[in-house]
Structure 1
């Protein structure tokens, strides 16, 4: 009915390994983002971990402006990181999936 069940299980195991390798690799993919005026710069990984934040001293006197710029810049960086993460994880998952009839969920 399902053909080579052992072969499918092997492919699933390899797919899981590929996903884990991709997760580790995404820890090394760095995304740099800056505010529109360049006063705040952030670096995050593709796994959405903040690695660095640089703030221009001119923003240190106005906490409200600093918070606004920081939120906007971090959200832009995390959005880009999420997009990269989703693309890479989908590729990793699809590459190792066995071909099960009726289970073509990665079109």
Structure 2
């Protein structure tokens, strides 16, 4: 029993390291999003760090319109990045979880 517990602890540490490695890798996964008319383009990482924002000069003439574009486009980009982030981290966590009857939370 003690050996099983040590083995499980080793697997948990290994899984923790894989999760940390995946988080670092997600810093290099870029998500691109743009407004429907392509006047605003945003790139962020799968860890939801904004990398670039490109704004068409036409949008600079109307502050309220620019704000609306930023809110809509940033929210779409963040939603996409969150889905990628959660899927990647869930896959790593599920891979490292021991098989315990009745504890299949990650199915």
Q: What is the TM-score normalised by the length of structure 1?
A: 0.94
Q: What is the CA distance between 1:3 and its match in structure 2? A: 6.9
Q: Distance in 2 between matches of 1:53 and 1:14?
A: 37
After TM superposition, which residue ranges in structure 1, 4 or more long, deviate above 3 angstroms?
Answer: none
Q: What is the TM-score normalised by the length of structure 2?
A: 0.94
For 1:87, what is the secondary structure of its paired residue?
A: helix
**Paired residue for 1:43?**
43
Q: What is the CA distance between 1:2 and its match in structure 2? A: 8.1
- Number of residue pairs matched by the alignment: 107
| Runs of 5+ unmatched residues, structure 2 | none
CA root-mean-square deviation: 1.4
**Paired residue for 2:75?**
75
**Paired residue for 2:65?**
65
Q: What is the CA distance between 1:102 and its match in structure 2? A: 2.8
**Paired residue for 1:23?**
23
Are positions 1:103 and 2:103 aligned together?
yes
